[in-house]
Amino acid sequence: MENKRRRVFLVGLANQKDNIEYELEELANLAEANHLEPVESFTQMLERPNPATYFGKGKVAELADHAKTYDVDMIIANDELTPSQIRNLEQETGTTVVDRTGLILDIFAQRAQTKNAKLQVQLARLQYQLPRLRTSMSITLDQQTGAGGGGFTSRGAGETKLEQSRRRITKQMVHIRQELADIEKSEGTRSAQRQHNQLPNVALVGYTNAGKSTIMNQLLHRFGVGATSGTTKQVFEKDMLFATLNTTVRQLTLPDKHQFLLSDTVGFVSKLPHNLIEAFKSTLSEAANADLLLNIVDISDENYQDMIHTTQETLAQIGVSGRPMITVFNKADKAGLPFPEITGDNTITISALDTTSQDVLIDLIKKHIFKNDVVVKLHIPFTQGNIQAKLAANHTFISENFDESGTIIEVTLSPDEAHLYAPFII
Ligand SMILES: Nc1nc2c(ncn2[C@@H]2O[C@H](COP(=O)(O)OP(=O)(O)OP(=O)(O)O)[C@@H](O)[C@H]2O)c(=O)[nH]1
Ligand SMILES: [Mg+2]
C-alpha cells in the first residue's frame, strides 16, 4: 500500500474580502503537489479566526463528525494556525492537522535543488517548527513513503528534552544564517559587478506555473550567451507548482546589439508564508531592483484575475512597489485567444513558444527600458579609432560617413553614454 495517497480534508474560513473558492482550489493543488488526495472541503463564514480553535465552537464538532465520515488522514487548514489552534483542533477532531504554511514549506523542501535554496527552505522550516515543537502530531509530511508522521514528533517529551530540541534548532538556524550570509557575500560581489555594467535589469515575476522559466528559456535560446552556437544554458521549466526556487540572471544581446539582463524568479501563491518570504528575501531582491517587471499571467487559467491579485499582494509584501511593469498574458494558445496582441502601453497577450510573440514582447520591453535613449550624431577624429571600435562593438550605427578629419556616426545612445560621448556630439 506504499503508493496509497493520504486522504485530506481541506478546511477554511470565508470572509467578505477573500475569494474562498479560489483559495481552496489553490490549497487542493498544493495538497496534490504534496502527493495528498483532497477528498472534501469545509468552510465557515467568519470574519476572524477563533483564537483557540480556528473555527467557531459548533463548527469544530461538525468538522470532527465529517472527518470521521470521510475517513480522512489529515485536515489541512487554509491559513497559518497558531500552535495552540493546531493542538486544540487535533484534540477535538482526533486527526492530524497541518496548515497552509506547513504544506507550502514541504513543497519547497521537495523542490530545493541548489545549496542556497536548500538552506533558505530549511531556515524557514526551522523558524516555523520552533514554536510548534510540542504541538503537532506530525509536522513533516513524509514524502517518500506517503506514510503519516514524520521527523518532528516530540509530543510528550520531557521538558528538558524539549529545551534541548529548542536549543538545537536555534543553533542550527544561526549556522544556516551564517552560511547564507557567506553565499550572499559572493553573490553580492557579482551583483555589484552587474551594477557597474549598468545594463537595464528586467525581472520575470508572477504566479507559479505561469510560464516565467519558459519565456526565459525561449529568449535565452535566441539572444543569450552562446545562442548562435546553440550552447545556451537553459533554466528548469516544468508543469508543476514551484518548479523554480532560485533566481537566475542572464544577459541578452539583441540583433541590434542592445543588451539587458533578464532574471527568472520563484513563483508566487496566495498567503505565501512569511517565513519563506523572509528566507527568500535576497533571492527576490533581483525583482526588487529591476528596472522593469514582466508580470507573467496564465490567461488560460480561469482564476487568472485572482492570480494577478496574488502577485500584486506578494510584491507589496516583499517591498516591491511602484516599479514599471508590463502585464504579459501568456498561454494564449491554450486559452484560444489571438496572439500576439498589444493593449495600451503595458499589456501584451502572447504564447511563450511563438517566435512572433517573442519579437513583439522584446519590442515592448525595449520601448520601456530604452525609452530615454537619444539619437545623436558624433564626429570621431581618425586619431581616436579606439573610441569608434568601442562604439561599434555595442551599437548598430544608423549611418556612418566620413569627412577629411574623421567619421560622422549617427547612433542611438543611453543617457549615460550620451553623457560619456558628449565631447564628440555635433
Ligand atoms: N500551452 C502553453 N504552455 C505553456 C506556455 N508557457 C509555458 N507553458 C507551460 O507551462 C508550464 C509551466 O511553465 P514554467 O515556465 O515552468 O512556469 P513558471 O512560471 O516558471 O513556474 P514556477 O517556476 O513554478 O513559478 C510548462 O509545462 C510549460 O511548458 C504557453 O505559452 N502555452
Ligand atoms: Mg519557473
265 is in an annotated binding site: yes
DSSP 63-98: HHHHHHHTT-SEEEESSPPPHHHHHHHHHHH-SEEE
Fold assignment, 6-112: Rossmann fold (3.40.50)
pLDDT band at 404 (very low <50, low <70, confident <90, very high): very high
The whole-angstrom separation of Cα 103 and Cα 299 is 26
DSSP summary character for residue 50? B
Q: How far is the CA of 214 from the centre of ligand 2 (A)?
A: 7
- Evaluate if residue 277 carries a pLDDT over 90: no
Closest C-alpha residue for ligand 1 atom 6: 211
- Evaluate if residue 400 carries a pLDDT over 60: yes
DSSP 371-391: TT-EEEEEEEEGGGHHHHHHH
- Whose cell is 467557531? That residue is 56
Closest C-alpha residue for ligand 1 atom 23: 244
Ligand nearest to the CA of 207: 1
Percent of the chain residues topping a pLDDT of 70: 91
The whole-angstrom separation of Cα 67 and Cα 203 is 44
Q: How far is the CA of 320 from the centre of ligand 1 (A)?
A: 24
Contact (CB, 8 A) for 75 and 9 = yes
pLDDT band at 2 (very low <50, low <70, confident <90, very high): low
In ligand 1, the atom with minimum distance to the C-alpha of 351 is 31
319 is in an annotated binding site: no
Express each pLDDT in 90-103 by its tens digit.
999 999 999 999 99
Closest C-alpha residue for ligand 1 atom 7: 211
- 331 Cβ inside 6 Å of ligand 1: yes
Q: How far is the CA of 32 from the centre of ligand 1 (A)?
A: 18
Cell of 33: 503537489
Most confident of the ranges 55-69, 229-243, 327-341: 327-341
DSSP summary character for residue 173? H
pLDDT band at 307 (very low <50, low <70, confident <90, very high): very high
264 is in an annotated binding site: yes
Element (H, E) at 235: none
Class of domain 199-369: alpha beta
Express each pLDDT in 176-202 by its tens digit.
999 988 887 877 666 656 555 678 999
- 336 Cβ inside 6 Å of ligand 1: no
Q: Ligand 1 pocket check: which of 238, 248, 328 to mutate, most ligand atoms within 8 Å of Cβ? A: 238
Which residues belong to CATH 3.40.50.300 in the chain? 199-369
Q: What would the mean pLDDT of 209-216 be, rounded to a whole number?
A: 96
Strands 96-99 and 74-77: parallel
Q: Write down how long the chain is.
A: 426
Prediction pTM value: 0.86
133 vs 239, which has greater pLDDT? 239
Express each pLDDT in 341-390 by its tens digit.
999 999 999 999 999 999 999 999 999 999 999 999 999 999 998 998 99
217 is in an annotated binding site: no
Which residues belong to CATH 3.40.50.11060 in the chain? 6-112
Q: How far is the CA of 248 from the centre of ligand 2 (A)?
A: 10
Ligand nearest to the CA of 209: 1
Q: How far is the CA of 80 from the centre of ligand 2 (A)?
A: 25
Closest CA to 70 of 110, 39, 42: 39
